[in-house]
Amino acid sequence: MKRWPKEVQIKEVGPRDGLQNEKNRVPTLDKIAWINMLSDSGVREIEFSSFVHPKWVPQLADAHEVGQKLKRNPNVRYSALVPNKKGLELALEAGIDGASVFMSASETHNRKNINKSIDDTYPVLREVIEGARKEGKHVTGYVSTVFDCPYEGSVSTDDVIRVCDQLMEFGVDDLSLGDTIGTAVPSQVEQLLEQVLQRYPKDRIIMHYHDTRGMAIANIMASMEYGITRFDSSIGGLGGCPYAPGAAGNVATNDILYLLHGMGIKTGIDEKKVQEAAFYIQNKLGKSLPSKSLAYEAAQQ
């Protein structure tokens, strides 16, 4: 039988990647109360918001206030998405512990997402990465569409690695590789990691799966076989797919915890507290979240 990792690190991205895809606005105080619940679950990193311009993501327009008012747990790293220098200033004021920059491995997706070519995006990210590091902040580089792009189809691993190399050179602490549209199957994960792990140490790679077609848990298993022990997830599977409204988004924290704890892999996270936080935001949004293990728990109650 196989040897699985003893411990896995989860980064909770529900308040950012989850919420940014939810239409119904969550009031700022509710959001803070909810992030405080997450802070108390044992998770070690929470991406609590995004400092992109509010016109792009109105749901997260209160990033600054959230950052300033949330109750800090000293065991949690509070990070946020930071698009540019202006965003970094606001984020630092709001008290971030970590900044995440983002870039797509696909030229067309990057242009549609941030109105710039990949090459024109580099200097902007470099400024953020260097600025954040100067302030002693942790920096994560998100690379999106590492398998498939909604516009270009299949994305070559060479394109992924080119972006990774550049972000590493700028000084990111780690890379989060995203299956942004949730198309990947485990054989694609194997192909990517086979090449990526020849260049970077395992502990600097985070895998970021979307469960749009129900493949995320299998992809996480495939990643763990390659020694990956860091994953992003969203509580309850909160969020969705901008390319198919109604479809599922980020893999659910609840489902990952069910998997890992069931396999005897430690996360330090209290499943019950994560469930409570998932029910809380589910009620605020007035809709059921896509996590099947959460739906099971809800049906039991």
> Which residues contact a second copy (rule: CB under 8 A)?
1-2, 4, 182-188, 190-191, 194, 211-215, 217-218, 220-222, 241, 244-248, 252, 255, 258-259, 262-264, 290-293, 295-296, 298-300
Least separation, in Å, of the C-beta of 48 and a second copy?
26
Using CB atoms within 10 Å of the CB of residue 5, give its burial: 0 to 12 exposed, 13 to 18 middle, 19+ buried.
middle
Q: Which is nearer to a second copy, 60 or 259 (CB)?
A: 259
Least separation, in Å, of the C-beta of 258 and a second copy?
5
Least separation, in Å, of the C-beta of 155 and a second copy?
15
Catalytic residue IDs = 241
Among left, alpha and beta (phi > 0; psi -120 to 50; other), residue 123 is alpha
Q: Which is nearer to a second copy, 241 or 274 (CB)?
A: 241
Question: Which H or E run contains 99?
Answer: strand 98-104
Q: Which is nearer to a second copy, 136 or 262 (CB)?
A: 262
In whole angstroms, what is the distance from residue 15 CA to residue 186 CA? 27
For residue 30, how many other CB atoms are within 10 A of its CB?
Answer: 15
The tokens describing 32, both together, are 């803070």
Q: Which is nearer to a second copy, 49 or 253 (CB)?
A: 253
Least separation, in Å, of the C-beta of 134 and a second copy?
41
Task: Give ∠ CA 180-204-194 in degrees, rounded to 5.
Answer: 70
Report the greatest alpha carbon distance in the chain: 52
